[in-house]
Structure formats: structure tokens, C-alpha cells
Amino acid sequence: MNIVVTGGAGFIGSNFVYYLLNNRPSDKVICFDKLTYAGNLETLEPAQSNKNFKFIRGDIANRQDVETLFENEKPDVIVNFAAESHVDRSIEEPELFLKTNIIGTSILLDACKKFGIKRFHQVSTDEVYGDLPLDRPDLFFTEESPLKPSSPYSASKTSADLLAMTNWRSSKVPVTISRCSNNYGPYHHPEKLIPLVITRALNDKSIPVYGTGLNVRDWLYVEDHCSAIDLIIRDGKAGEIYNVGGHNERANIEVVETILHILGKPESLIEYVTDRKGHDLRYAIDPHKIETELGWKPKTKFEEGINKTVSWYLENKDWWQKIISGEYQNYYQKMYGNR
Ligand code: NAD
Ligand code: TDX
């Protein structure tokens, strides 16, 4: 199969590229990425010598780029990871999120309609369901939970999901959607909590914890997300939504303390800062459907995954040091300077 991975130079997309190259040697993998601040060609360096891999620079929100991609590559499957993905940035500058996440997805769906496709898979997020209260550990997001996004980011992802489902209903574009909880692992951009804590702690810098630090996220090791998507594009049913998560809920402060402990750094680095606006309290996925219908099971528990992740950042300092120097410094000052 010819599989186009949009956003394959970012965190999860690049892990998915490697997952396919390692596990599906008869597939051709075409990464289509705009290379925004979040995309990094160095991440794909080891893939460039693989005869089954090809990189194309392009924008999912540009119709010409997308149609040329379809004409030249004749994809069987599109897996759409391309997105603006950071909640904090979306609160400051929503417009780019609407353009890439909504218009971009719509343009991809139009091309699927025009050129034909065996499967369009939309990589979505548990954030479309809004949040759960902290005092109801019995509640989980199911595929039937109401859509109640809290940020411009999650509103844009919700809109993309609705467009995907309407294209299935009205035009029979064979769409599937996965809604996954927070990922962590190699190649995660240092603007996000786990790599931010690792990289700042290694530089003995303060660790900004929003609000009380008690907000809960449900962490999934990125390779487990990749195996779920791989299964859905092969065995999942068109028109279906699958929640993906591994019951690894942790309060943010627990995550921060765990990382400091692994690195042997003091908790005095922790600095409580002004909360995120509209900060979602708790995410927790019920993965019953994908487990029972497709036989998916995550392999990596949080304790193992977080140790592997910290080791990866220790062994790949070059990768993240280049990112946190330069433009990212201005971003950090802008976002955290007055907190
Ligand atoms: P990321 O920000 O690390 O990577 C996004 C990638 O998309 C980058 O390579 C970027 O260059 C590319 N991109 C951005 N705009 C583009 C455009 N207009 N055209 C083509 N490429 C473009 O994001 P991530 O964390 O890897 O997330 C990937 C997907 O998974 C997103 O759709 C996100 O909503 C979803 N998701 C992420 C998580 C998570 O914990 N990170 C959890 C659930 C779902
Ligand atoms: O400096 C920080 N301090 C802090 O306390 C940052 C960056 C985050 N946080 C908190 C906010 C969240 O409760 O940590 C938690 C995780 O934050 P992020 O890493 O920004 O992730 P989150 O907002 O949960 O969203 C992530 O998971 C769902 C991804 O970025 C989304 O793309 C995905 O859809």
C-alpha cells in the first residue's frame, strides 16, 4: 500500500513513520509535511535512506499541494497527523489552528473524494470531549461522550472530526477516527509538559507547573498509539470512531516529581505559575471498543515508558538542544515571562 503520513515530521507522525518502516516492509511511506516550527527533518534523517520512504514538503491547507500529492503518489491510505497541536499557542493565536486543522482536513477530504482513497484516517484527540471532574474517578470518555471542547485547539480538532464524519455520511469517503489521550516518548517537542520538564531539569532551570498541579492526564507511550492506528487503518471499519488510551492517569505534579526523581534533580526546581485559561481538569479514556473489536492492547506501562523517554532525551541531547536554542527562546519568554 502507498500510505501518506501527513505531519510525519512531528512527534507522533515521525514515530508512526518508523513504526511502518519497521513493521510493514511491503508498504511505501510518503511523509507530507509543511515543516512548521514543530516539524523537524532531522527527526526523519534515519528514514531517508530507506527505499520505502519518501519526504514531500507541502501544506494540507493548500489545495494545489494536496492535489499534486494525490496525482503523483496515488495514495491508498492517508493518515492525517498534520495539525497545530499546542493548546497554549491556540489560546494566543487561534487562526492558524482553524486554517490547518479545519480547512486542511477539509481539503484532504475533498481530494479523497475527487481521486478516491481506500481509507482516510483522522488522528484526533480526547480533548474533543472536554474534561471530567477530579472527584469522579469512575467516569471515562467513551466514543458516545458529548463533544465539549475547551480550547481553540480542541474546537478545531472537533470540527475536523465532524467534517470527516459528514464526508463519510454524504459522500462515502471511507473515514476512520482515533481519539487518543496524551502521548509521550521520543521526538516530543520541548514545548509540551514531559519534554519541557526533562530538558529544563537537565539545565537546572525552574519547572513551570500550571495552577495546582492536580490536573490529570492519561499518558500513552507513543508506540502504543502507533500500533493502534496501524490496526485501525487495516482492520477498523469505515465510519467508526475508536478511543485510544491505556489507563495511565497521573496528576501533572506526580509526573513532574517522577521525572525529577529519575534525573536526581531537586523538587525545589518546581515553580507553580498562573493556570492555563480554561485548563481541562481530567482526561481519562475508556478503550473498551478498540480492545474488544480490534484486539488492541497497549504494551508500555507509565513507569517503563517514562524511564525509556528520559533515557532517550539523555542520549539525544543534540536533537532537543537545537530546538530550545533560537526561536524557541522567544516563545518561552512570551508564554512564561509574565506568569
Ligand atoms: P506536532 O505538533 O509534534 O507535529 C505536527 C506536525 O504537523 C509537524 O511536523 C508540522 O510541521 C506538521 N504540520 C503542521 N501544519 C501543517 C500543514 N498545514 N500541512 C502539513 N503539515 C503540517 O504534533 P503531535 O503531537 O505529533 O500530534 C500529531 C497529531 O496527533 C495532531 O493531529 C494532534 O492533534 C494529535 N494528537 C496528539 C496528541 C499528543 O499527546 N501529542 C494526543 C492525541 C492526538
Ligand atoms: O509548562 C507547562 N506546565 C504545565 O503544568 C505545560 C506546557 C503544561 N502544563 C500542564 C497542562 C496540562 O494539564 O501539563 C499538562 C499537559 O500539558 P501539554 O503537554 O501542553 O498537553 P495537553 O494540553 O494535555 O495536550 C496534549 O495532549 C492532547 C497535546 O499537546 C495535544 O495535542 C493532544 O491533543
Domain ranges of the chain: 2-184+220-245+278-299
Q: Which CATH superfamily is domain 2-184+220-245+278-299 in?
A: NAD(P)-binding Rossmann-like Domain (3.40.50.720)
Question: How does pLDDT run across 129-180, given as a tens digit for each residue?
Answer: 999 999 999 999 999 999 999 999 999 999 999 999 999 999 999 999 999 9
Q: Ligand 1 mean position to 188 CA, how many Å?
A: 10
Q: Is 192 in the pocket of ligand 2 (CB under 6 A)?
A: yes
Q: What is the pLDDT of residue 329?
A: 65
Q: Quick one: pLDDT at residue 327?
A: 67
Instruction: Give yes or no for a contact between 81 and 10, defined as CB atoms under 8 angstroms apart.
Output: yes
CA distance 12 to 222: 7
Alpha helix (H) residue ranges in the chain: 11-23, 63-73, 87-92, 95-97, 105-115, 152-171, 193-202, 222-235, 252-263, 288-294, 302-315, 317-324, 327-336
In this prediction, the residues of the chain whose per-residue pLDDT falls under 50 are: none
Which residue among the candidates 33, 59, 84, 126 is catalytic per the annotation? 126
What pLDDT score was predicted for residue 184? 98
Check residue 116 and give its pLDDT: 98
Separation of 172 CA from ligand 2 center, angstroms?
Answer: 35
pTM: 0.97
Separation of alpha carbons 309 and 67, rounded Å: 38
Centroid of ligand 1 to alpha carbon of 269 (angstroms): 29
Q: Whose CA is nearest to atom 20 of ligand 2?
A: 192
Do residues 229 and 123 make contact, with C-beta atoms less than 8 angstroms apart?
Answer: yes
230 is a catalytic site residue: no
pLDDT tens for 282-323 read 999 999 999 999 999 999 999 999 999 999 999 999 999 999
Decide if 127 is catalytic: yes
Looking at ligand 1, which atom is closest to the CA of residue 153? 34
- Of 18, 19, 153, 187, catalytic: 153
Q: How far is the CA of 118 from the centre of ligand 1 (A)?
A: 22
- Nearest CA, atom 31, ligand 2: 85
pLDDT for the residue 161: 99
Nearest atom in ligand 2 to the alpha carbon of residue 154 is: 34
Q: Quick one: pLDDT at residue 101? A: 98
